[in-house]
Amino acid sequence: MNYVAPLKDMLFDIEHLARIDRIALMPGFEDAGLDTAQAVLEECAKLNEGVIAPLNFEGDKNPSSFKDGVVTTTPGFKDAFRQYAEGGWQGLQHPVDFGGQGLPKTIGGACGEILNSANMSFALCPLLTDGAIEALLTAGSDDLKATYLHKLVSGQWTGTMNLTEPQAGSDLAAVRSRAEPQPDGSYKVFGTKIFITYGEHDMAENIVHLVLARVTGAPEGVKGISLFVVPKFMVNKDGSLGARNDVHCVSIEHKMGIKASPTAVLQYGDHGGAVGYLVGQENRGLEYMFIMMNAARYAVGVQGIAIAERAYQKAVDYAKDRVQSRPVDGSMSTAAPIIHHPDVKRMLMTMRAFTEGCRAMASVAAAAYDAAHHHPDADMRKQNAAFYEFLVPLIKGYSTEMSLEVTSLGVQVHGGMGFIEETGAAQHYRDAKILTIYEGTTAIQANDLVGRKTARDSGTGAKAIAAQIEKTEAELVKRSSANAKAVHMRLKAAREAFVDVVEFIAENTKSNPNAAFAGSVPYLMLAGNLVAGWQMARTLIVAEDQLAQGTDAGFMQSKITTTRFYADHILSRAPGVRDSIVDGAESVNALPTEMY
Amino acid sequence: MNYVAPLKDMLFDIEHLARIDRIALMPGFEDAGLDTAQAVLEECAKLNEGVIAPLNFEGDKNPSSFKDGVVTTTPGFKDAFRQYAEGGWQGLQHPVDFGGQGLPKTIGGACGEILNSANMSFALCPLLTDGAIEALLTAGSDDLKATYLHKLVSGQWTGTMNLTEPQAGSDLAAVRSRAEPQPDGSYKVFGTKIFITYGEHDMAENIVHLVLARVTGAPEGVKGISLFVVPKFMVNKDGSLGARNDVHCVSIEHKMGIKASPTAVLQYGDHGGAVGYLVGQENRGLEYMFIMMNAARYAVGVQGIAIAERAYQKAVDYAKDRVQSRPVDGSMSTAAPIIHHPDVKRMLMTMRAFTEGCRAMASVAAAAYDAAHHHPDADMRKQNAAFYEFLVPLIKGYSTEMSLEVTSLGVQVHGGMGFIEETGAAQHYRDAKILTIYEGTTAIQANDLVGRKTARDSGTGAKAIAAQIEKTEAELVKRSSANAKAVHMRLKAAREAFVDVVEFIAENTKSNPNAAFAGSVPYLMLAGNLVAGWQMARTLIVAEDQLAQGTDAGFMQSKITTTRFYADHILSRAPGVRDSIVDGAESVNALPTEMY
């Protein structure tokens, strides 16, 4: 099945929800209006639909393989990555100074969705490279920037993030890799890192590892972690490649999904020490890593949207083709394509509504990110940063959790054929499951939402968002359509449920942390549902207005219908989640460990 | 990880919810009291824990393979099946007259769970054989019974169900396989059948295929389908095996899960016609097939419970072992096993509550089945049959859908390790996905619930169940505990939501079928949630009473806690589902096909 990028939907969000016209007024984004967005997205679609998407199924059948320290990627990947790099796609959002295109995240995020829909395993390599670039831009010395950034931005080299060790997964305080200072200012790095995405591969000349380790004598816990650059090949003064560094891939994992993406175990320093260069200051590694992580978390949320879109397209295709049974309403006298059966419609609409809702949320968050970095007014930058920060765990957590439901429905629409690997629907189901785990599990996102984003300011930021949602409710109330009324009812109920939960979390996080954290993931799911639903409500307002002006009636009507579905079938889950959080903490914690 | 059969929980349900003491009063079940149940379950656990469970992971790594028409099962399967057969397990619920043990389903259902927890791929062979036995017992001639039943009941031969064809999946009206009457009273069968579980294998001497086909000149649609026995090897008068029949396996499928279970494409009659024998009367095949299907649907529901239990045990094991981060309540100064983190508890409790709730529902349904067949009073038989029939789609649909959520949480508890195939959690996630598809997808179960079980009697049967639930509510109201009050509140809300939906379905199925069927699966999920929650509420009443008498305090307290969790976190979903059904039908059906 071919993938077709949903450009119309993306451009709707970019124009009407993210308001790219306002972004184009900001310094540095003067050329980044709607026309640019459209042109970039069309080019992006062309490469991904034509070159990268067709490799997705192939990557599942012929995953990356490991032999004698060398990783060979799926046939076709290397050439596709060359085309990706040559097209300038790696540098899309990165500074012009280092060879990038300096485009806003509002456009870059949508391109990221297209790339991930096309081929999630492939897309992980650029995704991690983006994180490495981000860290060097923020904290790297001029020397490190000069040595590494151009070639990362151009896609000539790729980057990795090395956090996890066997005993240190979610708990980075347990990191044991160590770094010994050398007289020349460099360090020798020792340790084992696991789960390193594209930690070894054959698609680029060099790999730039960003590695967490402890400098000899550093404090225990997270306050003693530093960040290092460790290149696979040493880089000479003239930029040419030198000797092989002492970092080696000893195996790659046998995974349930994203099989084409090599997940490496990397051994540092087994032959005398890997040469590493400190990024920023000693013991501030976690802070820098969070910069990479935050970029990566947004990107992983987008992966959830991307795989949901791909699974949806595949399911629609099958449902239009597969003929089975007569429609229940007697509208046809013979067996019909299964898309005519109400339960198949319900499944497809669920997939569609989740995907569009999360896409709208991610688009609006990207605009906030752009404003947080480019708005001329400092106060507006701060407001937008706070809004973006609140949304990151929702985008990562909710969009990926919903992708599990969507890819499961994708298999279900295919019936028995969905369980057969050759059909391809199962791959999405298997691939998606990593998304709720890597770059911080859903629980880790929820801890962030509870701790840093809600309890720290006693829910002020969360309530400010609720107040914005009330404004949208007020706009809906003014409308006469049945759809606006229905959406208003569900949005109001969900927002009230959210406020109750925010108060519960703010009250309990310190005094009764077990109660607050018992509801952390449900709170994240409720908040994500609400914010996505809110963007759908804004969608309905725009679409009704556009429809009244006679613009693109079929499309606008579809946006209205999808919003109504979101409200009826997804937002309607919110009050029950509130109940389970506010009334249900005790039963989460009551069972003694030995009785499990 | 070893599997340990949850005998205590099973025996609690059998004793207190299914009330085996009452079943043992019925003719034919005189020896089937609690002591028998305990003895049988202990023996069953021994074989499955020791012999069959250890083959589960092996079956995923070394699936059944196909070469030149021959299927070779996973090493160890053949010997394990011999032990299973020699232990008399295939005949557990079948009549003593044919070599079976004639035990009630109340005991047999629990044994089925143990077998499926141990190894779902393995268990499918006996599961399908049970279906074939059921069909022959109901509709087979004395001759067919004499020829086939003893050897199926003993496990010497195995059985299959042949419904699906490439163009006929959920829609059996589209079956094209044909049968030509022969002068000797037999038929020659021609056609292609797909998705035939254990359609070919090396674990038994002969395979007895039960095949749907059309006799030459039969009417179109489901009214022209007949059921045939087609043995792999012809059977001589003396019971010995004769010539190879003209049914051949041409390939097996490459599936996402249950890989050890061979899923065959069978070709009938390519070399002159496969010899088949009519079961019952011509053109009544669908009716007989439904007998097999109903038994199989219950059994597949039990598979959902079984895999949920296995995934739960594995997740608990990991959560007790994996050390990561300090507890949020400051109760430990060092990193703790992750079972001490509230969100891990929430995930494990969700897994546990779903599993115990569905197990309780299945146990009570099994008791109703036993009473429907063995109660001396005709009216009681009828009442119990109606209750059982209502529960079958809930057990099949709800228990399997919940198993997707449970196995997903099982992976999630393992974090990154869950995505690595060697861990084994991923296998459960992949295996479970077939359960919502085969033996009728969840939508097909929901059609049954809406059409035959609700609309046909205008909701009378459904409301009779609601009335029984009200009686349990009345018992809860009399209790003073906070747990009973909380459970009462959620049960009442869920029951009221259910009644609203039943009325909506009863009103709309004929007049607005698109609206009724738009809510069919949500209705099934709501009904399953309610009935399982109701059994948990009954559990709480029993456990509080037992606790007051000082019986097994730790266990009884766990049952109470799990019930409370079920009410707070799962029953609380019900009102939202009601809203989406009653208010949300329009948005399911509104999008024109071309806009998907």
Distance CA B451, CA A37 (A): 50
Nearest CA in chain B to A316: B596
* Among B151, B168, B199, residue at a domain's last position: B151
* Among B125, B151, B177, residue at a domain's last position: B151
B125-141 burial, b at 16+ Cβ within 10 Å, e below that, comes to bbbbbbbbbbbbbebbe
Name the 3-class secondary structure at B223. helix
Contact at CB, A339 and B446, closer than 8 angstroms: no
Distance of CA A34 to CAs A110, A356, B444, B519, Å?
Answer: 13, 19, 46, 40
Q: Which structure tokens are listed for B118?
A: 């141990």
Q: Are residues A111 and A202 in the same domain?
A: no
pLDDT at res. B293: 86
Contact at CB, B421 and A254, closer than 8 angstroms: yes
**If pLDDT is split at 50, 70 and 90, which confidence band does B294 have?**
confident
Q: Which structure tokens are listed for A67?
A: 């032999």
pLDDT digits (tens, 9 = 90+) for B238-248: 999 999 999 99
Nearest CA in chain A to B519: A343
Active site residues of A: 439
Distance CA B404, CA B168 (A): 26
Instruction: Output the CA angle B303-B304-B310, nearest 5 degrees.
Output: 85
Question: Would an 8 Å CB–CB cutoff place A523 in contact with chain B?
Answer: no
Q: Are residues B455 and B576 in the same domain?
A: yes
Pairing, β B233-235 against β B241-244: antiparallel
Distance CA A41, CA A106 (A): 11
Return the DSSP state at B284: -
Q: What is the CATH number of the domain that holds A192?
A: 2.40.110.20
Contact at CB, A342 and B518, closer than 8 angstroms: yes
- Residue A1: pLDDT over 80: no
Contact B461, B390 (CB under 8 A): yes
Measured between beta carbons, the chain A residues lying within 8 angstroms of B557 are 595
Distance CA B215, CA B195 (A): 22
Distance CA A178, CA A224 (A): 10
Averaged pLDDT for residues B77-99: 98
Q: What is the DSSP string of B414-435?
A: TGGGGGBGGGSHHHHHHHHTTT
Measured between beta carbons, the chain A residues lying within 8 angstroms of B426 are 256, 433
- Residue B185: pLDDT over 90: yes
Q: Which of 109-128 (B) contact A at CB < 8 A?
A: none
pLDDT at res. A291: 82
Query: What residues make up the domain containing B242?
Result: 157-283
How high does pLDDT run on average in chain A?
A: 97
Distance CA A364, CA A151 (A): 31
Q: Across the strands, what pairs with A231?
A: A208
* Among A223, A249, A283, residue at a domain's last position: A283
Residue to substitute from A343, A450, A552, interface B, most B β-carbons within 10 A: A343
Name the 3-class secondary structure at A208. strand
Q: Are residues A95 and A225 in the same domain?
A: no
Residue B194 resides in a domain: yes
**A476: buried, middle or exposed (CB in 10 Å: 19+, 13-18, 0-12)?**
buried
pLDDT digits (tens, 9 = 90+) for B332-360: 999 999 999 999 999 999 999 999 999 99
Residue to substitute from B341, B569, B578, interface A, most A β-carbons within 10 A: B569
Cα within 13 Å of Cα(A124), Cβ side: 29
Nearest of A169, B184, A81, A241 to residue A90 by alpha carbon = A81
Question: Would an 8 Å CB–CB cutoff place A323 in contact with chain B?
Answer: yes
Averaged pLDDT for residues B446-466: 97
pLDDT at res. A335: 95
Q: How far is B240 from chain A (nearest CA, A)?
A: 36
How high does pLDDT run on average in chain B?
A: 97
Q: Are residues B457 and B537 in the same domain?
A: yes
Distance of CA A144 to CAs A279, B140, B384, Å?
Answer: 8, 81, 77
Q: Are residues B36 and B136 in the same domain?
A: yes
Of B324, B339, B412, the CB nearest to A436: B412
Averaged pLDDT for residues B297-302: 98
Q: How far is B277 from chain A (nearest CA, A)?
A: 28
Contact at CB, B253 and A576, closer than 8 angstroms: no
User: Cβ contacts of residue B435 below 8 Å, gap of 6+?
Assistant: B300, B303, B304, B307, B400, B403, B404
Pairing, β B157-162 against β B206-215: parallel
- Residue B290: pLDDT over 90: no
Return the DSSP state at B159: E
Nearest of B348, B346, B213, B388 to residue B283 by alpha carbon = B213
What letter represents residue A566's amino acid? Y
Residue B182 resides in a domain: yes
Of A170, A343, A564, the CB nearest to B517: A343
pLDDT digits (tens, 9 = 90+) for B365-377: 999 999 999 999 9
Q: Which of B113, B389, B439, B544 is catalytic?
A: B439
Contact at CB, A587 and B564, closer than 8 angstroms: yes
Averaged pLDDT for residues B426-438: 98
How many C-beta atoms lie closer than 10 Å to residue A323's C-beta? Answer: 14
Averaged pLDDT for residues B323-328: 96
Return left, alpha or beta for A155; rule: phi > 0 is left, psi -120 to 50 is alpha, else beta.
left
Q: Are residues B239 and B206 in the same domain?
A: yes
Rg value, chain B, Cα: 24
**If pLDDT is split at 50, 70 and 90, which confidence band does B291 have?**
confident
Question: Would an 8 Å CB–CB cutoff place B377 in contact with chain A?
Answer: no
- Residue B1: pLDDT over 70: no
How many C-beta atoms lie closer than 10 Å to residue B22's C-beta? Answer: 14
Distance CA A435, CA B411 (A): 12
Q: How far is B271 from chain A (nearest CA, A)?
A: 28
User: Cβ contacts of residue B356 below 8 Å, gap of 6+?
Assistant: B9, B536, B539, B559, B562, B566
Q: Are residues A123 and A216 in the same domain?
A: no
User: Cβ contacts of residue B530 below 8 Å, gap of 6+?
Assistant: B469, B491, B494, B495, B497, B498, B571, B574
Residue B166 resides in a domain: yes
For chain A, how many structural domains are there in total?
Answer: 3
pLDDT at res. A268: 98
Distance CA B471, CA B511 (A): 33
Question: Would an 8 Å CB–CB cutoff place B590 in contact with chain A?
Answer: yes
Residue A312 resides in a domain: no
Contact A144, A136 (CB under 8 A): yes
Return the DSSP state at B219: P
Q: What is the CATH number of the domain that holds B109?
A: 1.10.540.10
Of B421, B433, B574, the CB nearest to A429: B433
Place of tokens 């059977």: B235
Measured between beta carbons, the chain A residues lying within 8 angstroms of B404 are 408
Distance CA B361, CA A587 (A): 21
Question: Would an 8 Å CB–CB cutoff place B97 in contact with chain A?
Answer: no
Q: How far is A586 from chain B (nearest CA, A)?
A: 8
Of B325, B345, B421, the CB nearest to A255: B421
Measured between beta carbons, the chain A residues lying within 8 angstroms of B400 are none
Question: Would an 8 Å CB–CB cutoff place B173 in contact with chain A?
Answer: yes
pLDDT at res. A522: 98
Question: Would an 8 Å CB–CB cutoff place B445 in contact with chain A?
Answer: no
Nearest of A196, A205, A215 to residue A150 by alpha carbon = A205
Averaged pLDDT for residues A401-429: 98
Distance of CA A227 to CAs A81, A188, A248, A293, B183, Å?
Answer: 27, 13, 19, 13, 85
Q: Are residues A97 and A178 in the same domain?
A: no
Instruction: Output the CA angle A395-B328-A227, nearest 5 degrees.
Output: 60
Q: How far is A411 from chain B (nearest CA, A)?
A: 8
Phi, psi of A18 (to 5 degrees): -80, -20
Contact at CB, B434 and A446, closer than 8 angstroms: no
Question: Would an 8 Å CB–CB cutoff place A88 in contact with chain B?
Answer: no
pLDDT at res. A562: 98
Q: Are residues B117 and B239 in the same domain?
A: no
Distance CA A54, CA B103 (A): 55
Contact B541, B472 (CB under 8 A): yes
Distance CA A127, CA A119 (A): 12
How many C-beta atoms lie closer than 10 Å to residue B185's C-beta? Answer: 9
Length of chain A: 596
Place of tokens 């393989």: A65
Q: Are residues A195 and A92 in the same domain?
A: no
**B511: buried, middle or exposed (CB in 10 Å: 19+, 13-18, 0-12)?**
exposed
Nearest CA in chain B to A523: B343
Distance CA A529, CA A386 (A): 19
Residue A418 resides in a domain: no
Q: How many CB pairs under 8 A join A and B?
A: 265
Residue A2 resides in a domain: no
Contact at CB, B412 and A257, closer than 8 angstroms: no
pLDDT at res. B405: 98
Averaged pLDDT for residues A384-388: 97
Contact at CB, A568 and B584, closer than 8 angstroms: yes
Contact at CB, A587 and B593, closer than 8 angstroms: no
pLDDT digits (tens, 9 = 90+) for B2-47: 999 999 999 999 999 999 999 999 999 999 999 999 999 999 999 9
User: Cβ contacts of residue B44 below 8 Å, gap of 6+?
Assistant: B5, B89, B110, B111, B114, B115
pLDDT digits (tens, 9 = 90+) for A533-591: 999 999 999 999 999 999 999 999 999 999 999 999 999 999 999 999 999 999 999 99
Residue B332 resides in a domain: no
What letter represents residue A188's amino acid? K
Distance CA B403, CA B528 (A): 13
Nearest of A464, A460, A449, A466 to residue A509 by alpha carbon = A449
Contact A256, A430 (CB under 8 A): yes
Nearest CA in chain A to B349: A588
Query: What DSSP element (H or E) covers B302?
Result: helix B285-321
pLDDT digits (tens, 9 = 90+) for A476-507: 999 999 999 999 999 999 999 999 999 999 99
Contact B164, B197 (CB under 8 A): no
Distance CA A77, CA A52 (A): 8
Nearest of B505, B508, B542, B201 to residue B360 by alpha carbon = B542
Of B167, B254, B329, the CB nearest to A513: B329
Question: Would an 8 Å CB–CB cutoff place B256 in contact with chain A?
Answer: yes
ipTM above 0.90 for this complex: yes
**If pLDDT is split at 50, 70 and 90, which confidence band does A290 have?**
confident
Contact B320, A596 (CB under 8 A): yes
Q: Across the strands, what pairs with A168?
A: A165
Question: Would an 8 Å CB–CB cutoff place B510 in contact with chain A?
Answer: no
Question: Would an 8 Å CB–CB cutoff place A274 in contact with chain B?
Answer: no
Residue A382 resides in a domain: no
Contact at CB, A579 and B568, closer than 8 angstroms: yes
Return the DSSP state at A435: T
Q: Which structure tokens are listed for B234?
A: 């012809």
Name the 3-class secondary structure at B153. helix
Q: Are residues B143 and B82 in the same domain?
A: yes
Q: Are residues B557 and B482 in the same domain?
A: yes
pLDDT at res. A210: 97
